[in-house]
Every structure is written in C-alpha cells, then in structure tokens.
C-alpha cells in the first residue's frame, strides 16, 4: 500500500509536468508504424526517455524536499528507493508493450517476400521455422527493454548516495555507455551474420543483452538501498 501511494504520486507528477515528453513518445511510437529495419531509433529513443523518468522524478523530489518529508512519515529509505525502481520497471513494460503492438501492426504492411521469409532454429534436435517478422519484433522489443533499464541502473546509485545535483555528473556517462552499447550491439549483429543483413542474426544476442540489463538493474537497486542508508537528507 505504501509503495502504491508513492507510485500514484509519481504518475500524477509525470502526467502534469511532462505532457510534452509523453506527446513526443506517442508521436515517435506512431511514426514507428512506417519505419524500416534501419529506423529502429523510433522505438529506441522513447525507451531511452522512459528509462530516464525515474531519474527525473527523483530530482524533482529532492528539489521539493519530498524525501525529507516522506521520512517523517511511515515511509522508509528502502521503500523510497524500491518505488523508483518499480516505477522504472512499469515504464519499461509500457514502452515494450507499445513497441510490440507497433511491430505487430507494421507486420501487416510488410512486402510479401518479407512475410514469407523465415528463420530456422534448432530446438532439442528439431528445426523450427519462425517468421522473420516475428523474430524482428521480439528482437526490437528486447532491445527496447534493455535500453529503458540502462539509464536508471547507471544513474540512480549516484543520485541516492550523492544527491540529485552531484549525481547528475553520471548523465554523460550514461549517455556514452548507452551509445557504446548500441554501437557494439549493431556491430556484433553484423559480424555474427558474416556481413549479411542484421535480420538474419540469431536472437540469442538480444536475449543476452536483455538478461544483462535486468541483472544490472537488480545490482543497481541493491547498491542504491545500501548507499541511501548512509546518507543524511
């Protein structure tokens, strides 16, 4: 119940103070219906914006002395930290769900040769054919999920330990790390495919990236819980 109240507060702030960001996200998601495989940034960029929302909301909390007030009530430091990370997970699920819907709708407009194309996977010794459009959709959704978790994972421990102002120095590091991750991901896809189009690559790489992002998110939450316990508000 306590975390539910904090979530309600954050969503109210989000819808009242960041309507423009929400409009940009909606517009990019809508334009993704007409994207090509080389234009996945129309889904990745909204994922990155959503991933920064917990960081932005925490900065507002500190500016308004919300955390100091909350600690005079029944809220705990661990609860405040956990709510921000839970908010990040909700944003990740929302952006990936919309991304999956966009990819599903777009599949109807694919050329016939793309609709008929398949990837073959060997599972327990049996070859299974999966439509290429489905592979691309799952890969893009996993990519969005991973990217949306990175900003909070890399930034929140600094902010909970040093404060919003001092912790902001991590923002350039986050952007640089995210950009490098994207570049390495794209290079790896091409290398693994032997120079062939990225759509022919196995989806294992996307699964590995998503799993690594989830693990990093969990470690980041634990670090934030431990660090905020030593800080004076």
Which residue has better confidence, 144 or 121?
144
**Which pLDDT does position 194 carry in this prediction?**
44
Residue 119 has pLDDT above 70, yes or no: no
Provide the domain count of the chain: 1
Whether residue 173 is contained in a domain is answered as yes
Residue 128 domain-assigned (yes or no): yes
Taking the C-alpha atoms of residue 169 and residue 12, their distance in angstroms, rounded to an integer, is: 27
Q: Model-level pTM greater than 0.95?
A: no
Domain-embedded: residue 143:
yes
Establish if 181 belongs to a structural domain.
yes
233 occurs within a structural domain: no
What pLDDT is recorded for position 192? 45
Alpha-helical runs (H) found in 71-131 = 77-107, 112-116
Residue from 159, 149, 151 nearest 224 by CA: 159
Residue 106 lies in a domain: yes
Instruction: From 94, 99, 109, 201, select the one nearest 140 (Cα to Cα).
Output: 99
User: Which residue range forms the structural domain that includes residue 70?
Assistant: 2-228
Question: Residue-wise over 158-188: b if at least 16 C-beta within 10 A, else e?
Answer: bbbbebbeebeebbeebeeebeebbeebeee
User: Considering the domain boundaries, does residue 24 fall inside one?
Assistant: yes
Q: Residue 33 gets which letter from DSSP?
A: G
Is residue 202 situated within a structural domain? yes
In contact, 181 and 205? CB cutoff 8 Å:
no
């Amino acid at each position: 119940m306590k975390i539910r109240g904090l979530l309600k507060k954050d969503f109210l702030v989000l819808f009242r103070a960041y309507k423009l960001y929400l409009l940009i996200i909606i517009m990019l998601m809508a334009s993704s219906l007409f994207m090509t495989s080389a234009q996945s940034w129309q889904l990745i960029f909204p994922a990155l914006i959503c991933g920064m929302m917990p960081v932005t909301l925490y900065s507002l909390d500190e500016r308004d002395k919300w955390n100091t007030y909350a600690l005079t009530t029944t809220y705990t430091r661990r609860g405040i930290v956990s709510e921000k990370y839970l908010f990040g997970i909700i944003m990740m699920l929302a952006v990936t769900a919309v991304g999956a819907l966009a990819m599903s709708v777009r599949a109807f407009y694919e050329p016939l040769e793309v609709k008929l194309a398949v990837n073959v996977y060997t599972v327990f010794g049996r070859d299974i054919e999966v439509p290429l459009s489905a592979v691309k959709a799952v890969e893009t959704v996993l990519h969005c999920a991973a990217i949306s978790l990175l900003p909070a994972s890399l930034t929140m421990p600094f902010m909970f330990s040093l404060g919003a102002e001092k912790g902001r120095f991590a923002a350039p590091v986050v952007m640089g790390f995210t950009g490098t991750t994207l570049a390495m991901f794209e290079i790896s896809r091409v290398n693994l495919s032997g120079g062939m189009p990225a759509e022919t690559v196995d989806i294992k790489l996307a699964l590995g990236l998503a799993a690594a992002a989830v693990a990093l998110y969990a470690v980041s939450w634990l670090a934030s819980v431990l660090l905020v316990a030593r800080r004076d508000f």
